[in-house]
Every structure is written in structure tokens, then in C-alpha cells.
Amino acid sequence: MEAINMLDLQAEFRHIKDDVRAAIENVLEHQWFVGGPEVQQLEEKLAAMCGCKFAAAISSGTDALLCALMSLGIEAGDEVITTPFTFFATAGCIHRLGATPVFVDIEPDTFNINPKLLESAITAKTKVILPVHLFGQCAEMDVINDIAVRNGNLPVLEDAAQAIGSTYRDRPAGSLATAAAMSFYPTKNLGGFGEGGMIVTDDESLVERCRMTRNHGETSRYHHAFVGGNFRLDTMKCAILLAKLPHLAGFQAARVHNAARYGALLADSPVQTPAIRPHNKSCFHQYSILCDRRDELMAHLKECKVGCGVYYPIPLHMQECFKPLGYEESDFPVSMEVAGRILSLPIHPMLSDKEVEFAAAAIKTFFEG
């Protein structure tokens, strides 16, 4: 068996290359590299896919979070509630605006923000709640939205960077709150050719604000109502994403299939396979198991040439840069425990059944022997 990697972007490309090359050729012909027609086309497609009225294409998922928070009016002194068990960008964007990330621990099985702990974290300074749909499974949005309504109609921003194509109670990720930020980072389920992101929302004035924010707060040429940034997504990247979009459902189905295979193969092993709530459909951006002796298992998988990864080894309250927030390690025990036991296995759409079986067998051999 050849090495089984966490991703096989070359193989994915072989499936789509004719469509992608045609899209690139088209942009080369029209030469409209910023703000070309493909930008709006991608916005319309993504909005429809997410069940939203509007979308704004943004330079990355990080910038989508930042631009959305700026457009929601977040500024110094504000508090934004989020999870400590996420990619750094979620909290980094809050901090960059001079606001304070207020962390709330996660559920032990879904790894998403624990709604039972959320309300007690709300203060007079809370301006936004920012749940993350980690690994593709949506956070408990109905409960989170109820809490937001009860507490002065707080806006809720979904970090849906990992959840394109997921649903919660049959509603798509991205349509579940005030607005959502998506990522097209190349390793994401809808991975672009470089950085990329999107904000989706039903709120017309918010999307207008986001569009101005991504363009230096410009209202009309050389008139700036406020200070924004350059958060635009290139036409070329939008054209490539448009070409990839029709293939997404097939790739997604392959991920779901692989997850089901792992579930069956690992059912009688000592590892804990992902707990997807009955009302959730995950796009399986990652397939993350919990296990004891995680680091030894990683070393064993490496020997067997099975790729794996730890997302995320250090919860954000333990990051050097957030020391001034004054958190103790013990403040978020579930995040700490999960960070020490979690391991993500290859789940990408190009895996064969044999490869999934090989990876699962390698895990079982480790615990048997």
C-alpha cells in the first residue's frame, strides 16, 4: 500500500482540470482580474447554496471573519464570545479589532461550543456570539440563537469555514444566524487555488457594509465613509471556484461514504468515532477520533504510512498571545482533554475503500498489539 495522505489535491485536480482550465482561459481572455463578472457569479451561487439572500466574496476565511466583525461594529472594549477549541483565526480576528475574545468550553463529543455554558458568559459588553462549526458539524444553533435573542438580540456570526455543505435541522450552514464566514483555503472542502473566503447573510444592509469594508470603506470612487481594508477576492480565484462548484456534491458524498466506512470498521475498537447529532449532517471536513495514547498511535500510523493530524493541539486560551486575557489551563477542562486525545484521519474524497480499510486496520493493530 502506498502512503495514504491527509489530502490528495493532485488526484482531485485530475477530475476537474478541464473545467478549471476553461475557467482560467476565460479570465485570461477578458483580463478583468479584480471585480470581474465571476465574482458576482460566485457570490450568487454561494448565497443560493447556503440558503442566503446575499454573499460577499472576501480574500480569505480569516478576512471574512474580520470583515464581518468590523461590519457588525465590533471595536475596542467589546466582548465576543467564542470557543477556545478552534483554528486561531476565530479569536485572532476578535483581538485584532481591540475586542476581547471570551471563551466558553466545548461539548465533549461534538467539540463545538457548549450552549449550556454560554449564557453565563454574556456581559453588558458582549456584542457578538461566534460559534464555530468544527470539522463540519454545526454548533447547536437553535439554542445559541435563543440565548442571543433573550440577551438583547445579540448578532450571531457563524464561523462556517469548515462547514460548506453541512446542514443543521435541514438548514444549510451559513443560513443559521445573522451572517456566516466561509473559507476556500486549498485544504477546505471547497478549496480554491490560493486564499479565499465568503460572507453570507440575509441582511442587505450588513452585506452592503461588508462590501464597503472589503474595499477601504469606499462609498463611491475615492470617497471613504470609514476605514476598511482590501479584502477583495480575485476574479481568477472566483472563476476557479465556480468551475469546482459542480463537483462539490460528488466530493462531499465521497467524504460521507468514507466516514461511514470508518464508523463501521472502528465500531468495536477503543477509539471514539465522531458523534454527529441526529439533526446534523456533517460535510466531514475532518474525521476526528478521540483516543488514549494518541501520540503513540500517531507514531504507529506514521510507520504504517497513514497520514493523520492533530486539530488542535493547544486550545486558544493557552496561546502565548492570549496570556494577558488571564485564563488558567483549568478554565476549559473539556477543551484541554480533547486537545490531548484528538486525532484526525484521512477522509478526503479521493480515498479508496481499500485505503480506508488499511487506515482502520492500522488503528486496530495498534490497540491489539
* Closer CB to ligand PLP, 91 or 301, in the complex: 91
* Closer CB to ligand PLP, 115 or 191, in the complex: 191
Near ligand PLP in 72-131, by CB under 6 A: 86-87, 89-90
Q: Does the protein bind ligand PLP through residue 132 (CB under 6 A)?
A: yes
175-194 burial code (b ≥16 CB/10 A, e <16): bbbbbbbbbbbeebbbbbbe
* Closer CB to ligand PLP, 90 or 213, in the complex: 90
* Closer CB to ligand PLP, 131 or 346, in the complex: 131
For the CA atoms of 236, 238, 244, 245, what is the dihedral angle to 10 degrees?
A: -160
Please report how close the Cβ of residue 283 comes to ligand PLP at its closest, in angstroms: 12
List phi, psi (to 5°) of 36. -70, 175
Near ligand PLP in 144-183, by CB under 6 A: 159, 161-162, 183
Helices 235-265 + 37-49 axis angle, to 10 = 30
**Grid cell at residue 321:** 498571545
Question: What does DSSP say about strands 197-201 and 179-183: parallel, antiparallel, or unpaired?
Answer: antiparallel
If one counts every other C-beta atom within 10 angstroms of the C-beta of residue 40, the result is: 13
Please report how close the Cβ of residue 102 comes to ligand PLP at its closest, in angstroms: 17
Please report how close the Cβ of residue 90 comes to ligand PLP at its closest, in angstroms: 5
Q: How many residues bind ligand PLP (CB under 6 A)?
A: 16
150-162 burial code (b ≥16 CB/10 A, e <16): eeeebbbbbbbbb
Q: Which residue is nearest to ligand PLP (CB)?
A: 61
Name the residue among 118, 126, 122, 119 with its Cα closest to residue 77: 126
Near ligand PLP in 230-289, by CB under 6 A: none
Contacts of 239 (CB under 8 A, 6+ apart): 23, 24, 26, 27, 36, 38
Q: Are 306 and 298 in contact (CB under 8 A)?
A: no
* Closer CB to ligand PLP, 172 or 355, in the complex: 172
* Closer CB to ligand PLP, 68 or 132, in the complex: 132
If one counts every other C-beta atom within 10 angstroms of the C-beta of residue 208, the result is: 14
* Closer CB to ligand PLP, 60 or 110, in the complex: 60
Near ligand PLP in 186-205, by CB under 6 A: 195, 197
Please report how close the Cβ of residue 193 comes to ligand PLP at its closest, in angstroms: 13
Please report how close the Cβ of residue 311 comes to ligand PLP at its closest, in angstroms: 8
Binding site residues, ligand PLP, CB under 6 A: 60-62, 65, 86-87, 89-90, 132, 159, 161-162, 183, 185, 195, 197
